[in-house]
Amino acid sequence: MGAAKLIRQLLGTVFLLASATCFAQDHSASPIANSPIERGRYLAAAGNCLSCHTRPGGEPFAGGVAFETPLGTLYSTNITPEPETGIGRWTVGDLQRAMHEGIARDGSHLVPAFPYTSFTKVSNADVADIYAYLRTLPPKRYTPPANGLWFKMRWPVALWNSLFFTTGRYVPDPGKSAEWNRGAYLVEGLGHCGACHTPRNAFLAEQQDKAYTGGVIRDELSRGKVGRWFAVNLTSAKHGLGSWSVADLEKYFRTGVSSRAGTFGPMNEVIVNSLKWLTPADLHAMAVYVKSLQAEPYAGDRVPPELVAAGASIYKERCEKCHGASGRGGFFSGPPLAGSAVVQGEDPASLINIIIHGPSRAKGVSYGGWETMSAYGDVLDDSQVVAVSNFVRGSWGNQAGPVSPAAVRSLR
């Protein structure tokens, strides 16, 4: 065993024995020190590999998950060690090249739906541990469906990479604490949070000048229809996570529920398959980093007073019992709408989806005393959904633009 690896394991052992506020000085060191395989298992959870590489009803990590993109449907690969249809012939160097450079074993360019733009920040040692873990998986012979025409042509990816992708491992900020750097390493690297929570340009590249201010994603709705969601603004802006504390974030990461919100929609798999398996220390580090994200003041349109007023009676009849006249909710009723990042999303898609289709609660997550919200798609017509959406987006100091009838129709 090399000296560097021995030191990393010793630090990991100290990490586990220390209190939740003590952190190993190596920003990238996994807190699981038992073996490369156990560290790899932990790191694969941090990267949420299970969700993206396990199709509904399929074998774990065998691929076939459909990703809906503006260019068509893309299917995830089989990453079990099966030699013909999986990555059984890959070396650790092959996996490092894929995660760090977006290049497959055969030299072809991977589509950046596989977030190598974030994984490039992951240390060589951590990728090696992930490789060690993947080698222990039962090999499953499965070939995902063929991708569409746009994804069979990989030369455009090389051009895209030259414009929008920079390789390189995470470099710690010496002016920040060890826990901040650990959180940054996880959020920016394996966690690839920016892949959903950062807006993209016309070429589908993350807009780094607007990092973590929210992004539109496509995923399945409750009725099996592919729809649009808005991954919330993670900065501490008032229309983002300004009302959240580090403790709120840490609890949400760990359990899927805090006093500010409960998980729903695409975030369910992130909580259940990834975040809930991380150590309290790592979750705290991630929360510290997220709360440090710089906030920009809201600069968009506001819901006009007359549109706010138009939805007041619907809110009183349908929503006030659980969310309160003040919009603050209650422990035995419902989550707060005042200051909610979901309610104030730049794109109101997630709010509209909740109203029409219900909040799609995660299995295995306890929502405490919060009542289960019904789907109102068969109760409210489009104009009523517009009206109540505008009411909550324009009340209690919330900062958001008006909802249009077209936005509601597109999510039916």
Q: What is the pLDDT of residues 328-374, one digit of tens each?
A: 998 889 999 999 999 999 999 999 999 999 998 999 999 988 988 99
| pLDDT attached to residue 20 | 33
Q: What is the pLDDT of residues 75-111, one digit of tens each?
A: 999 999 999 999 999 999 999 999 999 999 999 999 9
| pLDDT attached to residue 148 | 78
Average pLDDT, integer, range 174-198: 98
pLDDT band with cut points at 50, 70 and 90 for residue 225? low
Average pLDDT, integer, range 139-160: 88
Average pLDDT, integer, range 301-308: 98
pLDDT band with cut points at 50, 70 and 90 for residue 19? very low
pLDDT band with cut points at 50, 70 and 90 for residue 213? very high
Quick one: what percent of the chain has pLDDT higher than 90? 82
Which sequence spans correspond to the domains of the chain? 35-169, 179-409
| pLDDT attached to residue 29 | 64
Average pLDDT, integer, range 376-401: 98
Q: Of the ranges 25-34, 70-79, 110-119, 153-162, which one carries the lowest mean pLDDT score?
A: 25-34
Is residue 3 over pLDDT 80?
no
| pLDDT attached to residue 224 | 57
Is residue 6 over pLDDT 80?
no
| pLDDT attached to residue 11 | 35
Q: What is the pLDDT of residues 20-49, one digit of tens each?
A: 333 334 566 667 668 999 999 999 999 999
179-409: in CATH 3.10.310.30: no
Is residue 183 over pLDDT 90?
yes
Pick the residue with more confidence: 154 or 114? 114
Whose tokens are 């020190």? That residue is: 33
User: What's the whole-number average pLDDT of the chain?
Assistant: 91
Is residue 15 over pLDDT 80?
no
